[in-house]
Chains A and B, each alone.
Chain A
Amino acid sequence: MSWGGSVRTASGGPFRHKVQAFVLCMVLLVSTASATLGLALLAASSGPFDRAFAAQHGAEVALSANPARVTAADLAATSHVAGVTAAAGPFAEATVQTQFGGQPFGQLTLAGRAAPGGPVDDLVLTSGHWPDGPGQVVLDDNISGPGPGIGSLNVGSSALTVTGVPGKPSLTVVGFANSITSSADGWVTPGEMTALRAPGTAPAQQMLYRFTAAGSDAQIRADVAAVTRALPAGSVAGASSWLAAQAQAEGNGAIMEPFVVAFALIGLAMAVLIVGNVVSGAVIAGYQRIGVLKSIGLTPAQVVIVYLSRVGWPALAGCLLGAVAGNVIAAPVLHQSAGAYGVGSQQVPLWASVAAPLGMLALTVLAALGPAIRAGRLSAVEAIAAGRAPRAGRGYAAHRLAATLRLPRPVGLGLAAPFARPARTLVTLAAVAFGATAVIFAVGLHSSLSRAEAAQNQSATVPVQIQQDAPGRGPNQSPTAAQFAAMTAALRAQPGTARDVSLYATGVKVAGVTENVTAFAFGGDSSWTGYSLITGRWYRAPGEVAVNTAFLNASGLAVGDTATVNTGTAQVTVRITGEVFEPSKEPRLYGSAQTLPGVATAQNYWQTDVGLRPGISPAAYMSSVNNALGIQGPFAATGPDGGQFYSIASELIGLLSLMVAIAAGLGVLNTVLMTTRDRVHDLGVFKSLGMRPGQVLTMVVCWIIVPAVLAGAIAAPAAVALNTATLHAMAGTAHTGVPASFTQVFGPLRLAVLALAALVIAVLGALLPASWAARARPATALRAE
């Protein structure tokens, strides 16, 4: 027989060893899927805005034009201006006031577009369909209900009422779309636009451009100037740059990146460990057969090839199926991450779909090569002996110790078993530790982010805010004293009002700080508003301020230092009493109106914070206040905003930790299955001596208990450290420090309970092979070798 023929015959073909082939295939499938997802997430976290901007042909400049001064043809002709590489439009544009469910929904800029695609600002429809008739709107996917008083918008069933235009037209939300630069808040059919223009409101047209050079503010200014020159004088009402959207989106994306990368790396490391463990185990399990093959004349080289081919085929099948499964699993995960990064959609890059299976296949070959070469070098007798059982002497002391403990015998036998295969046990321990770390980390990060959300939104202390975004507010109008008085009276008349304080904001100059600082002045007692402090305390007396981290970074000052503030009307010296948790790269300071003279004016009105009496429903309160304030006034009550990032992050964390835990469980399943196969003869002996199925199940599950307990002990501190590091990394990208309370989310008892995740993962992973072992007929097990 030929050299290759001998190898083919000896290997028995890919389908001879069905159970082993199935296990290998499954492990490679899960590992490749995990690796594909991990690589996809790493890719997704790398410059998500820039890649989405390129893919969606984002508008570098969105220009608003006054059609009274310029025709659509003139605007269309600007696509030929030097430097313009692509243009879309003109699209009719209108800014309207809306209501949802009878409550103010805010001001929306709507554009009339016949289709989502185009050479510029290619919109990604994330749900629903594009408007194909009157009374339909697709909203930008950044638009959500403003708080607990407003239910979430549902595609197909939710309708917005446009106020301030004749007939108060209703627009049914038929979908959500992503414009990478948020060129509008929503889109309707071009024919709808006429009905949405308020009488006396200036019509507007929108043109979207891409240029040969638009990478800096200076280039953008030059580009806009070039287009403006090509149009009649006074026809350009305004222009917005993509750079602002980039800065904002990359800020959000950067916050997500640390934990996404952490989960991706955990998934990849686990995949490598599990594949290495299972593949090398499969080759070692074949040593006895290798010995037989050598005794009938196979050369060492042929032995190596036989075993590489024996694991190669199922591994190849697993890798290919895993790449497909990885793409399928990645779809919902990337949908979440796309939402988190504020981009339309994210796909598994082609290189990840190729690199993951190739990498796993290479890993399989590497993991198999060492034991296969060793088997090739062993004599026939040595190979047969090595394949029969773990090395003699290993684990004996553990069994001796277990026998002295007052434990049920199956428990003692199970607890001592892992010491017979220390290398395999260590790898399993590592896989379980990674899985448990991911679960504990996920729970901790969720708690930390919940605290950050509560602190940022002040939802516990300030469940209602009064803001001047109601329809009655005219463009660039400040509320009058009478309107303020009416608003205050309306609040005080509400039996649910516990406290209220008005907040004013404006830009001020601080000595030693080059950029503008935003000063927030409270018109009354603000001690109850519940700002979270990283260090120090909230201001108490005139002359004291609290500041955010960006202020301290920009000024080089520290808590306890003094700063000179020029409010425009006065120069005052203030003492910094505390560092406030306020994620923003804009320096901010907070003080009383008395400390910051000239800030608390009607022009600088920001909002009124309202605290409620115990038991009062914020939704009911807001509804009541809005009825009292009336639709024609400038004020409206709303709930805390800004929770979208946190909810998307929490969902993504949950999904990622679940996947890592499942992969860890499968790793345990495979390890226990391999050990069961190794010890099948012993299992037959145990059964012949009267070991009951329940005792077999207990013993096999106990095989994994010691590694799981150790994994839990390792995972708990590792997860705490990972959570703290990740949170600081996230906070760093959000230009803020972190209050200690955000990272101290693990009490000793909670951490101990969470560490049980390792046990849960291990026991769940071991149960299936344990039940197979328990069900096996003793005579069958005794016959097995």
Chain B
Amino acid sequence: MRQHSADDVIRFDGVTKIYQAGTPAALADVSLTVAAGEVAAVMGPSGSGKSTLLNLVAGLDKPTSGAVTVAGLRIDTLGETALARFRARHVGIIFQFFNLLDDLTVADNVLLPAQLAGASRRAARARADELLARLGIQDHRDDYPARLSGGQRQRVAIARALVNSPELLLADEPTGALDTATGQEIGRLLRELNAAGQTLVLVTHDPALAQRYAARTLQLVDGRLVPSNAAVLTQAGPA
């Protein structure tokens, strides 16, 4: 395990999460760090605690015990309003099933986090247009998500996650709902983002995806971190 460093974007210190008293811990005494610019893959079988870990990193849930520090902020002690601000400024989340808002256009979906964060109208539009162009979906800016393919939807979700230029990008099974070719396309996109310095935590049950794109793999079994056999790759990883 890596030693703690001032450059760490994520730091877990003895984090435990128990959903219901008397039931096994979803996460048990987990300590870990993820450095700035790193791609870390979180792997494990179903029910191993991957999504719980992601929720705790994103401030979507609170640990039962332990300390969670993200982007230099101790987030397990924050209230809901401060957590919402934290998410808006520091974290972008990509979901397996996209979680786009069906009644908003592509552009409005992408703009939404910036608007919630209080960004100026002009700056938010410029950033959204830049991202839509960069992700190759600018022609769909006025379409509704229902009219897009899976790959296009995930690109919209990535643009939405990046609109506030977060320090940390969290991806929960980002290729899980996509066919193989589209999945690889999204994987390449994530790698390009990382190459540009974006810190990325990738939750996946696909060893090939983890091996191909992640510099480090965090293996979870029954809520505990176990030694990983995954090779430590370079920051950008192989093509």
A→B interface (CB under 8 Å): 389, 392, 395-396, 399-400, 403, 406, 409-410, 416, 420, 681-682, 685-695, 774-775, 777-780, 782
Contact = CB atoms under 8 A, between A and B. Distances in A.
A392 B115 contact: no
Interface string B8-46: 000000000000000000000000000000000000000
A389 B146 CA distance: 13
A642 B117 CA distance: 64
B104 to A, nearest CB: 6
B80 interface: yes
A690 B80 contact: no
Interface string B73-116: 00000001100110111000100000101111100100111011
B99 A688 contact: yes
Nearest to B113: A689
Q: Which 7 A-B pairs have the closest CB atoms?
A: A690-B88, A409-B115, A779-B61, A692-B84, A779-B60, A778-B60, A779-B55
A689 B102 contact: no
Contacts of B84: 687, 690-693, 695
Nearest to A775: B80
Interface string B104-143: 1100100111011100010000000000000000000000
B159 interface: no
Interface string B140-180: 00001010000000000000100010000000000000000
26 contacts: A392-B146, A399-B103, A399-B104, A400-B105, A403-B105, A403-B111, A409-B115, A681-B99, A682-B101, A685-B99, A685-B101, A687-B84, A688-B87, A689-B87, A689-B113, A690-B164, A691-B84, A692-B80, A692-B81, A692-B84, A693-B81, A695-B84, A775-B80, A777-B80, A778-B55, A779-B61
Given A685-B101, A691-B84, 19 more contacts: A399-B103, A409-B112, A409-B115, A420-B103, A681-B99, A686-B116, A687-B60, A689-B112, A690-B89, A690-B113, A692-B81, A692-B85, A692-B116, A693-B84, A774-B80, A775-B80, A777-B80, A778-B55, A782-B60
A690 B117 contact: yes
B110 to A, nearest CB: 11
Contacts of A686: 112, 116
B146 A689 contact: no
Contacts of B111: 403
Most buried by A among B108, B117, B144: B108
B162 to A, nearest CB: 12
B61 A778 contact: yes
Which bracket fits the contact residues of B?
A: 20 to 34
A403 B81 contact: no
B229 to A, nearest CB: 30
Most buried by A among B62, B81, B84, B121: B84
Nearest to A696: B84
B58 interface: yes
Contacts of A681: 99
B103 A689 contact: no
A153 B108 CA distance: 69
Given A691-B84, A778-B60, A396 B103 contact: yes
A395 B103 contact: yes
A510 B102 CA distance: 80
Contacts of B116: 409-410, 686, 689-692, 695
Contacts of A695: 84, 116
Nearest to A395: B103
Contacts of A420: 103
Nearest to A390: B103
Contacts of B81: 692-694
Nearest to A416: B103
B79 to A, nearest CB: 9
Contacts of B102: 389, 392
Contacts of A416: 103
Nearest to A403: B108
A775 to B, nearest CB: 7
